[in-house]
């Protein structure tokens, strides 16, 4: 008898064939795996909230603390998951398609319109909050209401202001930031002549590029579509004026680098002392405390200037939506209501120092705006904010046009030398292709 | 003799029983995990993507079957046509450079040099390091304000003003080509090196005796014998490069002004950000029929060789 067979028999039992060994092993593995599929039981409610990772970490830390506090008070487990903002669309898409994921999602700008079929009706959260806290702003209704139903509870807006160097502006004779685009061009040109360039992103910067240039389009009378969103209306004298203006602004005052900028590039340039004027949230001013304290005294904010058609702005507005597949919809609604109460909300935006403004009229008088005079006008910005698709509502077509940088590219091509009619025609063709879809 | 006679007496097995014999069943059992993984992770997503590409699905909605309308619509989209052009330029240029430089590098690595094995291992680093991390480093190296590449070139006096690596349509394409070539070169070089090492030295010795110089040896011996490996490596690299995503997404995200937009980045924006997954699937599968033909022709050629 060979050695292996002697070993198999040594225990007194039958010989174990390889086949039997494999079969038993496979069966045991399958049984163990099956066990992990059995959930340990529903137990207490728990909420998962997917949101963006704030540039101001302190705001995220505040949310974590508030989550712990809520758990202590109500016995509901709450966990925030903070991810990079550009990854939010793909994570949201994965959750929508798979029917599994977080209970509460942060809808970014037109997110509620894009995913409204996957979100529940939250009118019973939004309406009472509006009644309690002096009503919602117009932009809140734009982002939260889809087909007359609240699908997302507006959470806040990141006001994008003009951020500029007061010392360099003073050097060329400006104590205050100009109130019209034409005067802004003069100021920026004079600053560049002194060696200080401005910069408004014209690259693949989903925030800054769009949020700087959509207002320039609207302020000069341009628009991508008609009020009923049915027809493309980009080819207009207003758009031509806007294109000519942006071209002049670039050639006479801006840095050549703007074509490669992402959302953090202008922050870094400003903090490095390389930028005179840009469009950004209060995050630059906040970051200067740690990274460039010497600049804090010479940095200030301004409203976006007025153009021939008025004053406009575009800022990212955030909302909180609840997925249909969530098993804890009641608890999610209660949590959102709690989160927007003055005690919690004021603490959160207070730490933000102007990074986020409330979308309920009550929060216009929040103490955060009194912390620093340089932040006070930021609370005015949401009044002028419109969404892509203006003068119509924010639609899927407008969202697609923004994601494809149709308007930003129109301006970029003009700055690179293309004629105004040609660049508008190209944008028109791209928009018509988008708006022709269902 | 008895064993041979015994072997001759064995009856022919019916073909069905070949599949039901215990050995065959064990074989299927052992390969079943791999087959299962391939079906779940490759076949199912692929079939689903093909199905979705023939619907007008948007995120969260079922959509309806529209046959090849997505594909026809894409051909009318000026942005998509630009994407096709960019993808071909990107792929053809990078594969050419990787092949050309890969052969040179393989020839160098085949020489008797000190620490040869260490150098061969080090050459693989760009291939091994996670692409996202290495491309983030390149992003910093090409940064508009703080580019170390511009700093060095300006310091050496090779340029008089900084190169807009990621801000100019031409230079942005050059940048993504440089990074893709850097990342893929080790794969080409090591594959070619493996091929070089199988070429018998006697062929070179015989050619030397006949008076053939190094270049003629390379042209008439090395290159023909490397041809099958070159074909396979080029085929794989072409497929991978057409499907490339990370490098362009991190470096330029398709910009500036769509100058580096390729299939995968456009599919991402359209499907996951704008929510049109039917159209996004059509974009990502657009080249599939053409690539399938290329693969079949290439495999036929290799079989002939």
User: Mind listing the pLDDT tens digit for each residue in A394-424?
Assistant: 888 998 898 889 999 999 999 999 999 999 9
pLDDT tier, B94 (very low <50, low <70, confident <90, very high otherwise): very high
In the predicted structure, residue B37 carries a pLDDT above the cut 70: yes
How far off is chain A from B63, nearest CA to CA, in Å? Answer: 11
Higher pLDDT, B112 or B265: B265
The string over A236-262, giving b where at least 16 C-beta atoms fall within 10 Å of a residue's C-beta and e elsewhere, is: eebbbbbbebbbbbbeebbbbbbbbbb
A11-44 per-position pLDDT tens digit = 444 566 776 766 667 666 666 655 544 444 445 7
Q: Round the average pLDDT of chain A to a whole number and report it.
A: 89
Q: Which of B172, B51, B180 is nearest to B126 (CA)?
A: B180
Q: pLDDT over 70 for what percent of chain B?
A: 92
pLDDT of residue A4: 43
Question: Do the chains contact at B77 and A433, CB–CB below 8 Å?
Answer: yes
Strand-pairing partners, residue A77, are A46
Residues 6+ apart with CB under 8 A from B134: B126, B179, B183
pLDDT exceeds 50 at position A7: no
CA distance A304 to A356: 17
Higher pLDDT, A129 or B201: A129
Per-residue pLDDT band at B260 (split at 50, 70, 90): very high
Which residue of chain A has the CA closest to B76?
A433
pLDDT for A322: 97
Interface test with B, best of A204, A257, A406 (most B CBs within 10 A): A204
pLDDT of A224 above 90? yes
pLDDT mean over A379-395: 89
What pLDDT is recorded for position A16? 65
Query: Would an 8 Å CB–CB cutoff place A399 in contact with chain B?
Result: yes
**Closest Cα of chain A to B234: distance in Å?**
32
The dihedrals phi and psi of A388, each to the nearest 5 degrees, come to: -55, 135
A117·B60 Cβ contact <8 A: yes
The minimal CB distance from B164 to the residues A97, A115, A260 is found for A260
Backbone angles phi, psi at A311, to 5 degrees: -105, 130
State the pLDDT at residue A380.
Answer: 87
Across A17-26, B17-26, B44-53, B195-204, which has the greatest mean pLDDT? B44-53
What pLDDT score was predicted for residue B305? 60
* A49 against A204, higher pLDDT: A49
- Helix or strand (DSSP H, E) at A318: strand A316-322
Tokens of B236: 């794989």
Least CB–CB distance from A93: residue in B30, B59, B252: B59
Containing A319, the helix (H) or strand (E) segment is strand A316-322
Does the beta carbon of A98 lie under 8 angstroms from any beta carbon of chain B? Answer: no
What are the strands of the beta sheet with A299-302, ordered from one edge?
A: A277-280, A161-165, A299-302
Residue A355 has pLDDT above 50, yes or no: yes
**Mean pLDDT within A234-255:** 97
Measured in whole angstroms, the distance separating CA B180 from the mean position of its chain's CA atoms is 10
Please tell me what DSSP assigns to residue B164: -
**Residue A127 above 80 pLDDT?**
yes
Q: Report, as an integer, the average pLDDT of B147-168.
A: 93
What is the average pLDDT value for chain B, to the nearest integer? 88
CA distances from B104 to A77, B197, B205, B219 (A): 60, 14, 21, 13
Question: Which among A388, A396, A421 is positioned nearest to A213, based on CA atoms?
Answer: A388
B265, closest residue in chain A (CA to CA): A404
Whether B144 has its CB under 8 Å from any CB of chain A: the answer is yes
Interchain CB distance below 8 Å, A203 and B256: yes
pLDDT at B15: 61
Query: Which of A74-78, A147-151, A240-244, A378-382 bottoms out in mean pLDDT, i.e. has the lowest?
Result: A378-382
Residue-range domains of chain B with CATH = 2-53 (no CATH), 71-304 (1.10.3720.10)
**What is the Cα gyration radius of chain B?**
26
| pLDDT score of B213 more than 80 | yes
Q: Contact A96/B167, CB-based, under 8 Å? A: no
Smallest CA–CA distance, residue A272 to chain B, in Å, is 9
Q: Identify the pLDDT of residue A5.
A: 44
Among left, alpha and beta (phi > 0; psi -120 to 50; other), residue A313 is: beta
Query: Which segment of A29-33, A135-139, A191-195 scores lowest on mean pLDDT?
Result: A29-33
Is residue A106 helix, strand or coil? Answer: strand
- Confidence at residue A11, expressed as pLDDT on a 0 to 100 scale: 43
Contact across the interface for A97 and B254, Cβ inside 8 Å: no
Answer yes or no: is pLDDT of A10 > 80.
no
Q: Is the dihedral of CA B83, B84, B87, B92 positive or negative?
A: negative
What pLDDT, on a 0 to 100 scale, did the predictor assign at position B208? 86
Q: Check whether A372 has a pLDDT greater than 90.
A: no
| pLDDT score, position A214 | 96
Tens of pLDDT, residues A260-287: 998 889 999 999 999 999 999 988 998 8
Reported ipTM: the value is: 0.79
- Helix (H) / strand (E) element for A168: namely helix A166-171
Supply A205's token pair: 């910067």
Determine the Cα–Cα distance for residues B69 and B66; give it in Å rounded to an integer.
Answer: 6
Confidence tier at B10 by pLDDT (50, 70, 90): low
Q: Region B95-107: what's the mean pLDDT?
A: 94
CA nearest to B147 within chain A: A257
Average pLDDT of the segment spanning B290-294: 84
Q: What is the pLDDT of residue A41?
A: 44
**Reported confidence tier of residue B301, pLDDT bands at 50, 70, 90:** confident
């Amino acid at each position: 008898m060979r050695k292996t067979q002697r070993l198999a028999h040594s225990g007194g039992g039958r010989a174990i064939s390889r086949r039997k060994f494999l079969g038993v092993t496979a069966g045991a593995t399958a049984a163990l795996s099956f066990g992990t599929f059995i959930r340990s039981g529903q137990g207490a409610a728990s909420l998962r909230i997917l949101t963006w990772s704030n540039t101001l970490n302190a705001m995220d830390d505040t949310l974590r603390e508030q989550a712990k506090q809520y758990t202590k008070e109500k016995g509901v487990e709450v966990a925030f998951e903070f991810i990079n903002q550009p990854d939010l669309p793909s994570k949201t898409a994965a959750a929508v398609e798979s029917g599994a994921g977080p209970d509460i999602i942060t809808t970014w700008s037109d997110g509620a319109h894009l995913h409204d079929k996957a979100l529940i009706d939250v009118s019973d959260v939004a309406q009472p909050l509006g009644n309690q806290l002096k009503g919602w702003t117009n932009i809140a209704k734009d982002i939260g209401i889809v087909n007359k139903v609240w699908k997302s509870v507006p959470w806040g807006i990141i006001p994008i202001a003009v951020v500029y160097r007061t010392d360099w502006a003073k050097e060329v004779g400006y104590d205050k930031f100009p109130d019209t685009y034409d005067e802004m061009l003069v100021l920026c040109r004079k600053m560049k002549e002194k060696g200080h360039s401005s910069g408004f992103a014209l690259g693949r910067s989903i925030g800054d590029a769009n949020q700087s240039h959509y207002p320039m389009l609207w302020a000069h009378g341009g628009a991508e579509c008609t009020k009923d969103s049915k027809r493309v209306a980009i080819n207009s004298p207003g758009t031509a004026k806007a294109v000519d203006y942006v071209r002049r602004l670039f050639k006479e005052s801006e840095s050549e680098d703007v074509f490669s900028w992402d959302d953090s590039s202008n922050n870094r340039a400003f903090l490095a002392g390389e930028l005179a004027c840009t469009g950004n949230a209060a995050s630059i001013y906040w970051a200067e405390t740690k990274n460039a304290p010497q600049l804090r005294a010479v940095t200030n904010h301004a409203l976006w200037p007025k153009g021939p058609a008025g004053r406009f702005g575009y800022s990212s507005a955030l909302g909180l939506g609840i997925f249909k597949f969530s098993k804890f919809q009641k608890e999610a609604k209660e949590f959102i209501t709690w989160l927007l109460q003055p005690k919690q909300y004021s603490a959160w935006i207070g730490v933000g120092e102007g990074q986020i403004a409330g979308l309920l009229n009550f929060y216009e008088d929040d103490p955060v705006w009194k912390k620093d005079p340089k932040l006070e006008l930021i609370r005015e910005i949401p009044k002028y904010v419109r969404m892509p698709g203006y003068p119509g509502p924010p639609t899927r077509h407008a969202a697609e046009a923004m994601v494809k940088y149709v308007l930003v590219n129109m301006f970029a091509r003009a700055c690179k030398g293309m004629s105004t009619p040609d660049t508008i025609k190209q944008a028109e063709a791209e928009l018509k292709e988008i708006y022709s879809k269902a | 003799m008895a064993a041979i006679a015994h072997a001759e007496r064995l009856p022919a097995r019916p073909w069905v029983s070949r599949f039901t014999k215990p050995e065959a069943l064990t074989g299927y059992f052992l390969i079943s995990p791999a087959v299962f993984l391939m079906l779940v992770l490759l076949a199912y997503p692929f079939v689903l993507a093909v199905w979705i590409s023939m619907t007008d699905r948007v995120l969260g909605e079922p959509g309806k079957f529209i046959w090849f309308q997505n594909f026809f619509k894409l051909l009318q989209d000026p942005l998509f046509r630009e994407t096709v052009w960019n993808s071909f330029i990107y792929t053809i240029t990078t594969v050419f450079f990787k092949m050309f430089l890969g052969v040179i590098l393989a020839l160098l690595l085949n020489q008797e040099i000190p620490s040869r094995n260490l150098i061969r291992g080090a050459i693989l680093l760009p291939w091994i390091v996670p692409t996202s991390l290495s491309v983030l480093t390149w992003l910093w190296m090409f940064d508009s304000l703080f580019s170390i590449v511009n700093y060095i070139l300006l310091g050496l006096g090779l340029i008089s003003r900084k190169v807009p690596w990621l801000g100019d349509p031409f230079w942005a394409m050059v940048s993504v080509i440089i990074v893709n070539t850097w990342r893929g070169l080790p794969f080409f070089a090591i594959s070619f090196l493996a091929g070089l090492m199988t070429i018998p030295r006697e062929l070179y010795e015989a050619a030397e005796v006949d008076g053939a110089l190094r270049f003629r040896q390379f042209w008439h011996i090395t290159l023909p014998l490397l041809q099958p490996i070159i074909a396979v490596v080029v085929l794989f690299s072409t497929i991978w490069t057409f499907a490339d995503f990370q490098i362009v997404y991190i470096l330029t995200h398709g910009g500036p002004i769509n100058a580096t937009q390729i299939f995968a980045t456009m599919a991402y924006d359209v499907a996951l950000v704008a929510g049109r997954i039917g159209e996004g699937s059509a974009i990502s599968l657009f080249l599939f029929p053409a690539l399938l033909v290329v693969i079949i022709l290439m495999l036929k050629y290799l079989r002939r060789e």
